[in-house]
Amino acid sequence: MTSAAELHRQSIVIDGCAPLMAEPKGVLDYMAGGFTAVAATVSDNVEGAAGTLRNLGRVHNLIRSAGGALSVIRRAADIEAVKAAGTMGVILHFQGGDPIENRLDYIDAYKSMGVNMIQLTYNVKNRIGDGCEERTDAGLSRFGLDVVKRLNEARIVVDCSHTGFRTTMETIEASERPAVFSHAGVRAVHPSPRNIVDDQIKAIAQSGGLVGANAYPPFVSGDRQPGLNQLIDHIKYVADLVGVDHIGLGLDYFSGQHPYSSDEDAAAFYQKYLETGEWSPASYPPPPYLYPKGIETPDKAANLTEALVQAGFSTDEVQKIIGGNWMRVFREVWGE
């Protein structure tokens, strides 16, 4: 019988949300954790297209400077190629559609630069629609409908994370390709305002998409540091509700967490997001952020595979959860 460690080593392992890829130590820890591909956040919702272009240039330079250890993922086959080569792929991901500004053609430009997944809002209202932290829930704008259509045409994954309920439901209805929550917790398991409800989970599954299980501590439980079993509870809930084909990983490691950030830097990071209105104390309590015990950092990801095995998931189910379901969505949206 294959051990959990060997299963992890043999499998395609994908993290659908990896802001920590902006930090060199984060890159090393993802590689040490056996990840095949990770979705690096490259968007700048404050400075829009200009700031995002700077981020894209920096990340492309990082990849080029890695001596072949990293590569941009453009098609599903690229993930299989990096797995065979023993290297790691980088999926370029927007957390928020603000860099599109009011120009649909920017979507095609970003696609040409390797951007392959775009989240529509980041908690607050933008040109596309309302975020989940907004006072209102007005849904998609007319421009937002056009954005979803253009994302489908460009074969970019539509990400509903951080969007308001109505925005999510209208997006899923409008999209002709599978949509995803790249990183989300389940409100029925832990009642954070940022977590998603059953109707959203069912709708995303009906689209052919998935929910990426989020390990950001305040979305997992009310404990300062959740247990790994509490994260598994979110995964099991989605699997029981809509089937194991619609749950993946979107662990959301980021530079403001322990141990990558000092307490002082984490507090400054937190204050900045409160001041911009992108975070609210109801969803985002103050740091420190201690990720679930056993997977505090991405280099310990094999412990999550072990926990899934111990929770009773079969080998086939574990492989779907840690990467196979993402591969199915990527094949459908990006093509082989």
Q: Which domains does the chain have, with CATH numbers?
A: 4-255+287-334 (3.20.20.140)
Q: Collapse the DSSP code of 249 into the 3-class scheme (helix H, G, I; strand E, B; otherwise coil) and give the result.
A: strand
Residue 3 tokens read as: 């051990």
| Torsion sign across C-alpha atoms 227, 296, 258, 291 | negative
pLDDT for position 318: 98
Q: What is the mean pLDDT of residues 46-51?
A: 96
Q: What is the mean pLDDT of the chain?
A: 97
Element (H, E) at 218: helix 217-220
Share of the chain above pLDDT 70, in %: 99
Q: How much of the chain is helix, strand and coil, in % rounded to 5?
A: 45, 15, 40
Q: What is the pLDDT of residue 1?
A: 52
Query: What percent of the chain is modeled with pLDDT above 90?
Result: 97
Q: Give the whole-angstrom CA distance, residue 37 versus residue 329.
A: 14
User: pLDDT of 210-266, one tens digit each?
Assistant: 999 999 999 999 999 999 999 999 999 999 999 999 999 999 999 999 999 999 999
pLDDT at 59 over 90: yes
Specify the pLDDT at position 178: 98
> Strand pairing partners for 140?
129
Residue 48: CA atoms inside 13 Å, Cβ hemisphere, count?
8
Query: What was the pLDDT predicted at 98?
Result: 98
pLDDT band at 24 (very low <50, low <70, confident <90, very high): confident
DSSP state of 118: E
Question: Is the pLDDT confidence value at 202 over 90?
Answer: yes
Residues 92-143 pLDDT 10s: 999 999 999 999 999 999 999 999 999 999 999 999 999 999 999 999 999 9
Q: Which of 22-26, 213-217, 220-224, 283-287 has the lowest mean pLDDT?
A: 22-26
**Higher-confidence position of 22 and 228:** 228
pLDDT value of position 25 = 86
- pLDDT of 167 over the 80 cut: yes
**For residue 71, is it left (φ>0), alpha (ψ between -120 and 50) or beta?**
beta
Contact between 45 and 272 under an 8 Å Cβ cutoff? The reply is: no
β partners of residue 72 = 90
